[in-house]
Amino acid sequence: MRFQRFPTAPARLVLAWRAAALFAAALITGVLLALSGRDVFELLALVLKSTVGSRFGLEDLALFMIPLILTGSAVTVTSRIGLWNIGGEGQFYLGAIGAAGVGLYMPGPPILVLPAMAAAAMLCGVAWIAVPTFARAYAGVNEIITTLLLNFVAGLLTYWLATGPWRDRVTGALASTGRIPVAIPEIWGVVHWGFPVALLIACGLAVIMTRTSWGYEVRISGANPGAARYAGMPMRARVIAVMLLSGALAALAGMFEVAGTVHRLQGGMADNFGYLGIVVAVLARKSCLAVIPAALLMALILDAGIVLQTQQLAATVVLAITGLVLLLIAIGDELAHYRPVAPVVRPASPRLPPASKTTI
């Protein structure tokens, strides 16, 4: 039996290997926890109960999924055109800032204020990614560097607003604005309307990518810029549109977090959702629809991590487990490229067909 690496990995194999990777990660974690004297089965039961096994757990999962779906989509759309938006974190903050600014200072009924918050958030996100976008489209500046560096600026800007001009003057909460008077209505426990909207957005993006000529041009441009040029596609316009869209998506995640979950602008509130969006996108393998299950997996990992922390496991242990899961999944994805090939036998007869026929 010989194994050979193929350039493509069928989805079926990827899923199978990922399941194996998750199992292996759970096994390794379990063994290590057992060696350090923990009761693994008790922990496992607790994790299951407080994630998928209870209503509160499920609500938490959904809340985690909202920003992850959006930041994951933000990275996925750029990956379709062959670019990487590493700045989801920064655009998330800018979305949060835009939403909080409107929410705090624009009086009015929620039916008007909420859309205004969303619009302001997306505008801010678009503005934040505008410089990397135009630098990429007109000067070929690597968008990975520019979007990444702007994250730090955005994070500090949020801290400055939350401790300076917009700080909470009522309760004096640390690095936080006051409570925003409007909130996205809840539909199920603490889960708000952001959840179905995020799901709809992911599905809508999938439709746009596969069922519109705009999406077709984006896919061709991403798969081979040379072919896009050859066919006379307006590649620069597509790059600009996709990057701005990406910024708006990540910013919308910030808005949902501010208006649906946290109800304030807080320093550090992005909580790595922007970066985890990259992980979600990698797990989704460029598919806009697969962002949803990928976000669910990520949410499960995050949620399980919090449960473990309540059991006196250090936060670093949780990070290590996350890393282990992702590492094994990456290995699984690579292994999915390998398939067994027929063992070499010397064919005595019949004689082989001509090579030109065997290559399909």
Partner 1 sequence: MTPPPVAPGTPPVLQLVGISKYFPGVIANEDVSLDVRSGEILALLGENGAGKSTLMNVVTGIYQADAGEMILDGYGARFSSPQEAIRARIGMVHQHFKLVPAFTVAENIHLGWADTPRNASPAILEARTRELSERFGFPVNPAARVEDLSAGEQQRVEILRVLARKARLLILDEPTAVLTPAEARDLFRALRAFRAEGNAVIIISHKLDEVMEISDRVTILRGGQKIGTWDTADCSPRMLAATMVGREIVRQNLLLRADGAAPRGTEAELSLRGVSVRDERGVETLADITLDIFGGEILGVAGVAGNGQRELTEVLTGLTIPTRGQVLLGGRSAEPGAAAFARHGVGHIPQDRLHSALAPSLGISDNMALREYGMPPIGGNGLYHADAALSLAREIADIAEVTIPDFAMPVRNLSGGNQQRLVARREIRIASRVLVAAYPSRGLDIGAIATMHRYFAELRDRGVGIVIVSEDLEELLNLSDRIGVLCHGRLMAVLDSAEADIERIGLLMGGRTDLPETGAETKI
Residues that bind partner 1 (CB under 8 A): 4, 6-8, 210-217, 219-220, 223-224, 226-227, 229-233, 341, 344, 346, 351-356, 358-360
Looking at the Cβ atoms of 5 and 49, the one nearer to partner 1 is 5
For residue 191, what are the β-bridge partners? 188
- C-beta of residue 91 within 8 angstroms of C-beta of residue 125: yes
Looking at the Cβ atoms of 36 and 359, the one nearer to partner 1 is 359
Looking at the Cβ atoms of 49 and 211, the one nearer to partner 1 is 211
Nearest-approach distance from CB 19 to partner 1, in angstroms = 24
Nearest-approach distance from CB 240 to partner 1, in angstroms = 18
Instruction: Return the amino acid letter for 86.
Output: I
- C-beta of residue 86 within 8 angstroms of C-beta of residue 144: yes
- C-beta of residue 72 within 8 angstroms of C-beta of residue 249: no
**Would you say how long the chain is, in residues?**
360
- C-beta of residue 299 within 8 angstroms of C-beta of residue 64: yes
- From start to end of 236-350, where are the E strands? 338-341
Looking at the Cβ atoms of 165 and 226, the one nearer to partner 1 is 226
User: Which of 238, 261, 25, 268 shows the shortest CA–CA distance to 133?
Assistant: 238
Looking at the Cβ atoms of 193 and 338, the one nearer to partner 1 is 338
Nearest-approach distance from CB 145 to partner 1, in angstroms = 24
Looking at the Cβ atoms of 49 and 229, the one nearer to partner 1 is 229
Nearest-approach distance from CB 212 to partner 1, in angstroms = 5
d(CA 134, CA 153): 18
Looking at the Cβ atoms of 55 and 351, the one nearer to partner 1 is 351
Residue matched to tokens 């998330």: 92
Looking at the Cβ atoms of 111 and 344, the one nearer to partner 1 is 344
Query: What DSSP string describes 308-331?
Result: HHHTT--HHHHHHHHHHHHHHHHH
Nearest-approach distance from CB 335 to partner 1, in angstroms = 16
Nearest-approach distance from CB 311 to partner 1, in angstroms = 44
Number of Cβ within 10 Å of residue 310's Cβ equals 9
Looking at the Cβ atoms of 107 and 232, the one nearer to partner 1 is 232
Span between the terminal Cα atoms of the chain, in Å? 23
Looking at the Cβ atoms of 55 and 357, the one nearer to partner 1 is 357
What three-state secondary structure class fits 18? helix
Nearest-approach distance from CB 343 to partner 1, in angstroms = 10
What three-state secondary structure class fits 35? helix
Query: What DSSP string describes 143-165?
Result: HHHHHHHHHHHHHHHHHHHHHTT
Nearest-approach distance from CB 224 to partner 1, in angstroms = 4
User: Which of 288, 279, 354 shows the shortest CA–CA distance to 322?
Assistant: 279
Number of Cβ within 10 Å of residue 74's Cβ equals 34
d(CA 215, CA 271): 31
Nearest-approach distance from CB 338 to partner 1, in angstroms = 10
51 CB-near residues (< 8 Å, 6+ apart): 57, 58, 60, 61, 300, 303, 304, 307
Nearest-approach distance from CB 295 to partner 1, in angstroms = 24
